[in-house]
Amino acid sequence: MSAFQTRDFSARRSATEALRKAGIANADYDKFITEVKGRFVIDMAKVAAAIALKAHTGRKINGAAMKDDDEPAKPAPKAAAKPAKAAPAPKAPKRTVSSVARDLIRAGKSNEEVFAALQAEFKLGADKKSYPAWYRSDLKRKGEVIPAPAKA
C-alpha cells in the first residue's frame, strides 16, 4: 500500500468531511475510516472502488441497500396513506377594534357613535377617542368612498 492510497486526519470530522465530499453515505463512514494511534485513516482505494461501483451500477454506495446476490433490495412496503383531512369549517372573521370601527364608518356612523360602540364592545378608555378619526382618514387615504355621517 503506497502513501497515496491512504489519507491521514487528526480529527474524525475532517475524515468524514472528505468522505461526504466523495459522495459516501453517512451510514458507511465506519467502513472507510480506521483509527490508528489517535489518528483517522481513510483507505482511498476502497473509496475509489465504492465510487466506481456507484458510477457503474447507479446504485447507492450504502451496502445495506443491496442483497447478497447483487440484486437490489425491494423497498419496504409503504404504510397505508392517511385519509385526507376534512376541510375545516370557515371561521367567522375575528372582531377587532379595527374591523368594527371600519365597518361602522362604512355604514355612515359619526366618530362619536363609532367610539361609543367601540367603548361598549372593547372597553376602551377615553384616551382612545381619536381611533374613529384615524380609521376614517385611513380609509380615505386608501381610496375608499366614505359616506358622510348623518347629522342629528
**What does the pLDDT read at residue 74?**
63
**Domain-embedded: residue 101:** yes
Asked if residue 78 belongs to a domain, the reply is no
Output the pLDDT for position 60: 56
Instruction: Note the pLDDT of residue 50.
Output: 81
| Grid cell of 115 as nine digits | 367610539
Question: Has residue 82 been placed in a domain?
Answer: no
Check whether residue 18 and residue 61 sit in a common domain: yes
Please state, in angstroms and as integers, the Cα–Cα distance from residue 9 to each residue in 15, 22, 32, 44, 67, following that order: 6, 15, 13, 13, 33
pLDDT value of residue 91: 83
- End-of-domain residue from the set 43, 65, 87: 65
pLDDT given at position 66 = 45
- pLDDT tens series, the chain, 152 aa: 444 588 888 898 888 898 888 888 888 888 888 888 889 988 888 888 888 777 776 655 554 444 444 555 566 667 677 777 777 888 888 889 999 999 999 999 999 999 999 999 999 999 999 999 999 999 999 999 888 877 65
Residue 129: domain span: 97-141
Strand partners of residue 43: 6
Alpha-carbon 24 to chain mean position: 27
User: Would 92 be classed as within a structural domain?
Assistant: no
For residue 67, what pLDDT is reported? Answer: 44
Tell me: do 61 and 8 sit in the same domain: yes
The answer as to whether 32 is a domain residue is yes
Q: Decide if 138 contacts 145 (C-beta within 8 A).
A: no
Indicate the residue type of 74. K
The answer to whether residue 134 sits within a structural domain is yes
Instruction: Identify whether residues 61 and 101 lie together within a single domain.
Output: no
Please tell me the predicted confidence (pLDDT) of residue 101. 95
First to last CA, the chain: 103
Q: From residue 86, give the alpha-carbon distance in Å to each of 79, 80, 81, 82, 83.
A: 20, 18, 15, 12, 9
Domain count, the chain: 2
Instruction: Note the pLDDT of residue 1.
Output: 43
> Domain end: 22, 49, 65, which one?
65
Determine, yes or no, domain membership for 86: no
Q: Is residue 90 part of a domain?
A: no
Co-location of 58 and 9 in the same domain:
yes
